[in-house]
Every structure is written in structure tokens, then in C-alpha cells.
Structure 1
Amino acid sequence: MNNTKTALVTGANKGIGFAIAQGLGALGFTVAVGARDAVRRAEAVEKLCAAGVDAFGVALDVTSDESAAAAAAAIEETTGRLDVLVNNAGISGRIDGGAQDPTTLDLDLVRNVLDTNVFGVVRVTNAMLPLLRRAESPRIVNMSSSMGSLALQPGPVLSAYAPSKTFLNGITTQYARRLADTNIMVNAGCPGHVATDFTGFNAPRTPEQGAAIAVRLATLPDDGPRGGFFDDEGVVPW
């Protein structure tokens, strides 16, 4: 029996996802690096292994049911277990030409953003649940954003991206309610404004700082919170 805990991080080939993989790896997790791009995935695994992390790559396109199912099978085959799922993969969608101005909104763009940021989380979570159910202290962390907070409403008007995170927070609470009588804990985390290619590297926080909340929620004690939305400061009003 493999006694080392395994964590799957989606979108783990760069930015916050890579930093989350690094953070969990440093705590002794075996990390499954979920990413679409084979070259970037291999490079990320190589970097993690060079830093002393036990990592392996998993081909994963969160917009594909088949890919999610194949990823679950690959993890089962490689480690035989899954203890933590971090749903980090996300897209902002393009913002040029009023594409995310609500008065000129490109609905195809909204569909694309939702397909990754919300439906992708449901796809991957449900594909991984049979493995997670077998774990002793399974944790699911959905990477959200305070831009999805109706209370705070920070940042620019982005009528595809921001509501996708509101929707993600809503679905997180539904999972937490459904799994309330199990040992699977589900929460959402906000990394803050992080310098990645997502923000044009124009932000005050490092990927490592952004990853800290995910690592914390992934390693909550068994009496920890469920169905909440948190950042480094605590509960995010939403």
C-alpha cells in the first residue's frame, strides 16, 4: 500500500498552479501535474523533480469528459490513490473589443470561460471522486477569485470571468453540502492579485504567495471549515 499522499493540481504547468504543486510537494505529497500541453507539462515535472518533489505528469484537458476520466485512470495506475484535488485551471477570456463589457458581451466567450472555470471543475471533481472517497482525509480546493464576490466587486468589469467565479463559489457550497456527511472537505480559495502571465505579470503578489491559501485548504484538519471562501486574511465576503 502506498502511504504517500497524492495531490492532483490542474493547470499546474505554470504560475499559481506550479507554485501550488511546489508547495504541496515540499510537504511530502506526490504531485500529479495536470496540464493540457505535453511539452509544458514535462518541463514542469522536470523542474519539480529537480527541486526534490515527487511529481509526475497527467494529460488533462478540463473541457473534456474523456480527458478527465483518462486522468483519473492514470492517477489510479500511477499511485493508486488521490488525497487532494486542487482545481486551479482557469482562463480569463479575452477582453479586447468590449468582449466582456456586459452591454456588448460575446456570449460564445462566456460559454468558453464557463466551460473551463466552472464545468471543468465539475468534470474533474466528479471524475476524481471515486478515488477521493477512498482517502482518509480527502480535500478539494477550488481556486476562485475575489472578483467573483458580489460583496467586494474588485477589479475591472469582466462580465465573463467575474461571474464564472461567482458560479464557482456557488457550486463549491453545493459540493460541500452534498458531501457534508463524508470526510471530503470542499472549499474555495482566493490567491489575491498575483504576478503571472494571467495578469501580465503586473501585480504585487508572487505565485508562491498566491499558492499559500490552496496549500492551507488542502491540508486542513478534519474539523476544519467546509464550503467556505478564504484568502490569507480569512473568510472572503461574497
Structure 2
Amino acid sequence: MNGSAARRALITAGTRGLGFHIALGLGQAGFSVLLGSRDLSRGIAAAAELRDLGIEANPLPLDLSVPASMRAAATRILDDGLGLDVLVNQAAIGAPRAMTPMDDYDATVRAIMETNFFAPLLLSRLVLPALRASATGRIVNVSGHLDGTARNGGAATAGARRLGYASATAALNMLTLELTHELAATPVLVNAVSCALNDEAHLNLEEPLLRSAQGAIRLALLRPGGPRGSFF
């Protein structure tokens, strides 16, 4: 615990869908939750909904496509004295349609890489001082079920026609391993989890979202000495 009555977690894109359900689960476990919010009005509404359920929740302005926004959010966390115990990198975007390496969609691939990989890389680095100060620091990277690199050398991903998303997911899994190596001598546990419903098409499926969120919640709640550098 970091000088606060409750442990605190930041969930990127925590205002709806999978992110909201992860925030809900952590709030029910006693966490104070920060809802990363590109749209602050949506963040205010989501936090109010959680507070109505007895959960300490606050919106945090956070646009993952803007490094200055991430730096401002991290500064706010580091300066308010309440610490941070868990970072859940769950925000992700995908291509609007299936595309192959032969398609001319470089800008789309870059946008996917920025949100799905470079944003977690920068945000994790920025808030690491707070996580290191926690006795139970955790980083949970919500990975994609299309990436085969964690399981079978990429065979599952090949031919999926989602080059940008799958490549960013592979990079996120590698980030999980690199952070684990970097933080091996600390209590901070870093893991990745596949939440298959991290997709706009499924955001209206309440029960599947609740089930899908459980994997990320379990990793956030790992006890000291739990697994690190693993893909679940």
C-alpha cells in the first residue's frame, strides 16, 4: 500500500467495455481506481457509476495517442502522494478491415502500434517510480488472442490478415518479458493476459465481458512471489 487507505489501480481506456469491467472488479476487491479517459465527460460518468456501487473511482485524462497527455497523467499520479499499485494496459485499437502486407495502410499500422505498443511502453516507464514504491506493484498487459508468438511460434497469427494488430500484440508480449527482466530484483510483477473480447464488436455482451475481465483482475491481485513474465 502506498500511503493511501486503499491500493490504487490505473486502467487505460477504463470508461467502458473491458476496461470498465476490470475497474469494477478491482474496485470490488477494495482498490481505488483511476479510469484512463480520452473523453473526460465519459470518464466522469463512468466514475460516477462506480461510485454509486460504493467504489472509489476517479477519471484521469489520458489520451494514449498523445505523449504529452501520458506525461501529464503520470505526473499527476506521482505528485498527488497517493501512489500507484497496479497499471492495467488494456487499451487497444485494430484495423477497420482485414488487410495484408501488400495493402497500402501504413498509417493504420503506425496508429495501431502507437496505441497498442508504444503507449504501454511509455506509460509503464513513466509510472514505474510509483509501482516500485509499492510492496505489491503489478503491471498487467492485456494481450490479444491473435498473437501466436507466446504459444506456437506465430503459426496461429500467420494468415489472420491483421498484421498491425498481431504485430503490436507480439511487441506487447516482448515488452512484458523485457520489463520482467528489468524488474527482476523488485516486487513488481509483470504479466500478460489474453482477453479475447478486447474488441468493439463485443462491448455489448455483458456476461462475456465480466468473464473476460477476470484474467486481468487475477493478475492484478497476485500475491508476492507470484508468476512474472508469463502469458495467461
Equivalent of 2:156 in 136, 153, 160: 153
- Quote how far apart the aligned CAs of 1:14 are: 0.8
* 1:173 partner amino acid: L
Q: Does 1:164 align with 2:168?
A: yes
Match of 2:20 in 1: 18
Q: For residues 134 and 79 of structure 1, what CA distance do their matches in structure 2 show?
A: 11
Match of 1:234 in 2: none
Match of 1:138 in 2: 137
Match of 1:44 in 2: 46
* 1:36 partner amino acid: R
Residue identity (%) = 35
Q: For residues 19 and 7 of structure 1, what CA distance do their matches in structure 2 show?
A: 13
Q: For residues 202 and 133 of structure 2, what CA distance do their matches in structure 1 show?
A: 40
After TM superposition, the structure 1 stretch with the greater mean CA deviation from structure 2, 20-29 or 169-178, is 169-178
What runs of 5+ residues in structure 2 fail to find an aligned partner?
A: none
Which stretches of structure 1, 4 residues or more, deviate above 6 A after TM superposition?
Answer: 202-205
Match of 2:106 in 1: 107
- Do 2:11 and 2:35's aligned partners in 1 also have CA atoms closer than 8 Å? yes
Normalised to the residue count of structure 1, the TM-score between the two structures is 0.88
* 2:59 partner amino acid: G
Q: For residues 199 and 170 of structure 1, what CA distance do their matches in structure 2 show?
A: 27
Q: For residues 177 and 105 of structure 1, what CA distance do their matches in structure 2 show?
A: 36
What runs of 5+ residues in structure 1 fail to find an aligned partner?
A: 231-238
Q: Aligned ranges for residues 45-64 of structure 1 at < 5 Å?
A: 45-64=47-66
Q: For residues 204 and 126 of structure 1, what CA distance do their matches in structure 2 show?
A: 33
Q: For residues 131 and 174 of structure 1, what CA distance do their matches in structure 2 show?
A: 19
* 1:63 partner amino acid: S
Q: For residues 112 and 104 of structure 1, what CA distance do their matches in structure 2 show?
A: 15
After TM superposition, the structure 1 stretch with the greater mean CA deviation from structure 2, 1-10 or 70-79, is 70-79
Please provide the CA RMSD for this pair: 2.0
* SS of the residue 1:85 aligns to: strand
- Quote how far apart the aligned CAs of 1:8 are: 0.3
Equivalent of 1:229 in 215, 228, 231: 231
| Alignment size in residue pairs | 225
- Quote how far apart the aligned CAs of 1:67 are: 1.1
